[in-house]
Amino acid sequence: MSAKKIKDATQFKKDRMAKTNLFETERFFLDVYGLEPGQSQAPHAHEGADKVYVVLEGQGRIKVGGEVSPVSPGDAVHAPAGVEHSLENPGPARLVALAFMAPHPKHSK
């Protein structure tokens, strides 16, 4: 079966946010992002694909369409297709978040 322990899969990198894929098909991907304090994901948008962040550990800031929300474990945020979004870890702890995207950008229209 395709079952994974998210904690075991989560990675961190010294120089930038680490992305680790958990599952993917043409219809979606589910990644886990690991951000050391001070790391961030640059603002970007995906035409034709929706993203949802689910925060698992740490405290972060998620920006969607120019609006910033402080986020903590148990928060879910939707970044609709075509809307600019970004993720930031101001610290002091590590930030871990799931990123669901549908469809997989390689297959979006």
User: Rounded to whole angstroms, how far apart are CA atoms 28 and 3?
Assistant: 16
CA distance 12 to 18: 5
**Binding residue for its own copies (CB under 8 A) from 17, 18, 62, 95?**
62
Q: Is 50 in the site for its own copies (CB under 8 A)?
A: yes
Least distance (Å) between residue 77 CB and its own copies = 5
Which residues is 53 bridged to in the sheet? 77, 99
Other CB atoms within 10 Å distance of the CB of residue 35: 25
The residues binding its own copies (CB under 8 A) are 1-7, 22-23, 25, 27-28, 30, 49-50, 52, 54, 56, 62, 64-65, 67, 69, 71, 74-78, 80-81, 98, 100, 102-103
